[in-house]
A and B are shown apart, each in its own frame.
Chain A
Amino acid sequence: MTSTTISTAPPTVATERKIGVRLLSLLTIITIIAVIYGLYVGLFVAGRDIEQGDVQRLFYLHVPSFAGAFIAFSATVIGGIAYLRTRSPKWDTFALAGVEVGLVLALINLVTGSVWARPIWNTWWNWDPRLTSDAIMILTYAAYLMLRSGIENPEQRRRFASVYGILAFTTVLVTLLIIRVRPDTIHPVVFGPVLTDASMMATQGDFELDATPGVSAAVGLNSAIWSILVPWVLMWHRIRLENVASRVNALRSRLIEQE
């Protein structure tokens, strides 16, 4: 008869890190498969829009990528508030990762919107309230990265970035809500309430979710993937990168001190 000893000691940092790496690898694979599956559903299972043709399928990237950006920028707000409360640098890293990932997803949203606009609005771009607010949002977060890198004092940089990250979120809210309140936007409202009748009259390229088979399911699935898996996996990778950067900086400082 053999006896088994079960260790009750808490896992070490190294063990936790190993578990984290395996988990991240697994989650990355799941995310890649989920994104491909979501695209497959959007491109080959959902129906073709009768009025817009195949370009309407960009909906399955356009809306989900904004949902992902919204989650990532929300993470920046959470990171900023948590940093200001705890002064723990991990929350600053969390907020930074949110901005970088959010910016990428917002860019995908912008690009797909622009390409979609070309055949439907007959232009790549116009200064519609929604498009303008979206551009301001992207520039605001791009400025976050530039301004942040310009502050050398780490404590001052984190404090500034936290406050900036919280305030910058107003541009996300404005972008989200502007099509519901401005009567002069041509950007359609597909989900949620519209607070003015006039905006419905001005919209172009609108479509009903129920008119085409599979649209609701495809956009629901893709939104779930792009707002749950994509931002978190990318942010996790970005945080790991920042961990390595921190280690390198610490080593560099140590070596300079030794010299």
Chain B
Amino acid sequence: MKHLHLFVPLSLRIFGVCVLLVVASLPAAAQDGEATAEPNELSIYDDFYNHETGWHVYIPSGWTNASTADYARFTDSGRTIHATAFTNDVTSMDAIERAVSSAFPTLNVTLIDARDVNLINGIWTQHVYRTDNGYLTAHAQVYENAVYVLLYAGGADAVPLIVIQDGAGENADAARAAVSAAVRAIIAGLDEPTDTAETVTESGATIFTQTFERDGAIYTALGRARGNAVYVVAGTGDLQALDAASVYFTSLNDFFITPNTTPYLILGIVLSAVIGGIVVLSLIVRRQSLLKDEATLRQLEADTMQSS
């Protein structure tokens, strides 16, 4: 089997190439320079507030970012979006109250509407409060022993809220009724809308506009259905103010938490190590067994030669 030993010079050449390629590839680890300087640094989305514990909230374009390491806070012309999280046995109800009092300590609030809304990123508890100068909307979600709270405070000109209405995405009547019911649930004393209009955006979504009147004051509502959820902004402000408030929905819908998937990483590494280990063990055991066979056969051969 002399020919098989020809692998030695071939191996020499392979070895040379391997060493060269690995040495050449090692600087790749330093290619990211600053990026690799901080171990386990999270990937950063520039248009998101990224909290170190792994929750992320969208910063509306053009809004001022006044966040700290503890909470996210974005402001624009008297409007505020505030996001925070609580751990250690805090219920969603407690968390909302704590978030409101810490974010707006001087504000007196009265709960006027509470419901759960099922969005693409989970089930949120929604509270709408009457405040000294208007309304405050709060959303809270419980995920793995922590409560995440998002708040929107914008005075009386616009209050964002979400209602769930079966078939609203496909049925204009259902969506229209949902918008009207949502507005009348939080602004007491409103009759049927005095005017309704529908516009289709460039993306194909239908915006339902409704106008209400109470004591000579005009209230406007903008509604948009996505699946079973109807996103409504209502208030005394003009369409521009309502539009500005509706950006809160983007922060809410794009809110996400980096999941804890470490156990799966460990499982993958362990299984890979097990497969690799079995192969190495198999190579060693088979080789030992063959070497033992070879020694026995050589002994046999020598004995046979001697006896003959």
Return chain A residues, CB-CB under 8 Å to B21.
224, 228
Return chain A residues, CB-CB under 8 Å to B123.
none
Tell me, in angstroms, the Cα distance from A112 to B269 when the chains sit together. 8
Could you tell me the dominant secondary structure of chain A's interface residues?
Answer: helix
Q: Interface digits, A31-50 against B, CB 8 Å rule (1 contact, 0 not)?
A: 00010000101011111111
Of B6, B9, B11, B260, most buried by chain A (CB within 10 Å of CB) is: B11
Q: State whether A254 and B301 are in contact (beta carbons under 8 Å apart), knowing that A90-B4, A111-B272 are contacts in the complex.
A: yes
Among residues of B, the one whose C-beta sits closest to the C-beta of A207 is B43
Is residue A154 contacting chain B, with contact meaning CB distance below 8 A? Answer: no
Tell me, in angstroms, the Cα distance from A53 to B260 when the chains sit together. 6
Could you tell me the dominant secondary structure of chain B's interface residues?
Answer: helix
The segment out of A138-146, A168-176, A212-220 that lies at the interface is: A212-220
How many of chain A's residues have a CB under 8 angstroms from any CB in B? 80
Q: Interface digits, A223-236 against B, CB 8 Å rule (1 contact, 0 not)?
A: 01100110010101
Contact of A221 among B25, B38, B287, B301 (CB under 8 A): B25
**B18 and A27 contacting across the interface, CB-CB below 8 Å:** yes
Q: State whether A61 and B268 are in contact (beta carbons under 8 Å apart), knowing that A119-B259, A254-B301 are contacts in the complex.
A: yes
Return chain B residues, CB-CB under 8 Å to A62.
268
**A13 and B5 contacting across the interface, CB-CB below 8 Å:** yes
Q: Interface digits, B248-263 against A, CB 8 Å rule (1 contact, 0 not)?
A: 0000000010111110
The segment out of A18-26, A128-136, A156-164, A191-199 that lies at the interface is: A18-26
Is residue A166 contacting chain B, with contact meaning CB distance below 8 A? Answer: no
Task: Tell me, rounded to whole Å, the shortest Cβ–Cβ distance linking B59 to chain A.
Answer: 15
Return chain A residues, CB-CB under 8 Å to B26.
221
* CB-based A-B contact count at 8 angstroms: 213
Is residue A167 contacting chain B, with contact meaning CB distance below 8 A? Answer: no
Tell me, in angstroms, the Cα distance from A231 to B46 when the chains sit together. 40
Is residue B281 contacting chain A, with contact meaning CB distance below 8 A? Answer: no
Is residue A9 contacting chain B, with contact meaning CB distance below 8 A? Answer: no
Is residue B297 contacting chain A, with contact meaning CB distance below 8 A? Answer: yes
Task: Tell me, rounded to whole Å, the shortest Cβ–Cβ distance linking A90 to chain B.
Answer: 5
Contact of A247 among B262, B267, B294, B300 (CB under 8 A): B294
Q: Interface digits, B115-154 against A, CB 8 Å rule (1 contact, 0 not)?
A: 0000000000000000000000000000000000000000
Is residue A246 contacting chain B, with contact meaning CB distance below 8 A? Answer: yes
Among residues of A, the one whose C-beta sits closest to the C-beta of B274 is A111
Q: State whether A50 and B45 are in contact (beta carbons under 8 Å apart), knowing that A20-B7, A20-B11, A90-B6 are contacts in the complex.
A: yes
Is residue A206 contacting chain B, with contact meaning CB distance below 8 A? Answer: no
Tell me, in angstroms, the Cα distance from A57 to B268 when the chains sit together. 10
Return chain A residues, CB-CB under 8 Å to B66.
none
**A251 and B301 contacting across the interface, CB-CB below 8 Å:** yes
**B36 and A54 contacting across the interface, CB-CB below 8 Å:** no
Tell me, in angstroms, the Cα distance from A239 to B283 when the chains sit together. 10
**B29 and A41 contacting across the interface, CB-CB below 8 Å:** yes
**A238 and B272 contacting across the interface, CB-CB below 8 Å:** no
Tell me, in angstroms, the Cα distance from A104 to B267 when the chains sit together. 17
Tell me, in angstroms, the Cα distance from A116 to B265 when the chains sit together. 8
**A57 and B43 contacting across the interface, CB-CB below 8 Å:** no
Task: Tell me, rounded to whole Å, the shortest Cβ–Cβ distance linking B292 to chain A.
Answer: 10
Is residue B304 contacting chain A, with contact meaning CB distance below 8 A? Answer: yes
Is residue B188 contacting chain A, with contact meaning CB distance below 8 A? Answer: no
**B22 and A34 contacting across the interface, CB-CB below 8 Å:** yes
Return chain B residues, CB-CB under 8 Å to A242.
4
**B29 and A221 contacting across the interface, CB-CB below 8 Å:** yes
**A53 and B258 contacting across the interface, CB-CB below 8 Å:** yes
Tell me, in angstroms, the Cα distance from A251 to B290 when the chains sit together. 12
**A89 and B5 contacting across the interface, CB-CB below 8 Å:** no
Contact of A107 among B8, B18, B275 (CB under 8 A): B275
**A50 and B43 contacting across the interface, CB-CB below 8 Å:** yes
Contact of B22 among A228, A248, A255 (CB under 8 A): A228
Task: Tell me, rounded to whole Å, the shortest Cβ–Cβ distance linking B72 to chain A.
Answer: 15
Contact of A251 among B28, B54, B298 (CB under 8 A): B298
Return chain A residues, CB-CB under 8 Å to B22.
30, 34, 224-225, 228-229
Return chain A residues, CB-CB under 8 Å to B214.
none
Return chain A residues, CB-CB under 8 Å to B291.
244
Return chain B residues, CB-CB under 8 Å to A45.
29, 36, 39-40
Return chain B residues, CB-CB under 8 Å to A217.
28-32, 36
**B279 and A224 contacting across the interface, CB-CB below 8 Å:** no
Tell me, in angstroms, the Cα distance from A120 to B50 when the chains sit together. 21
Is residue A155 contacting chain B, with contact meaning CB distance below 8 A? Answer: no
**A251 and B297 contacting across the interface, CB-CB below 8 Å:** yes
Task: Tell me, rounded to whole Å, the shortest Cβ–Cβ distance linking B77 to chain A.
Answer: 30
Is residue B111 contacting chain A, with contact meaning CB distance below 8 A? Answer: no
Task: Tell me, rounded to whole Å, the shortest Cβ–Cβ distance linking A228 to chain B.
Answer: 5
Q: What are 19 A-B residue pairs whose CB atoms fall within 8 Å in the complex?
A: A39-B269, A43-B265, A55-B261, A61-B269, A90-B6, A111-B268, A115-B267, A116-B264, A213-B32, A216-B31, A221-B29, A225-B22, A228-B17, A241-B290, A246-B4, A250-B1, A255-B300, A255-B304, A258-B308
Nearest 3 A-B pairs (CB), nearest first? A213-B35, A212-B43, A224-B25
14 new A-B pairs (CB below 8 Å) besides A45-B39, A50-B50, A53-B54?
A: A23-B11, A30-B19, A48-B40, A51-B258, A54-B264, A58-B265, A61-B269, A213-B34, A213-B36, A213-B41, A228-B18, A236-B11, A244-B290, A248-B290
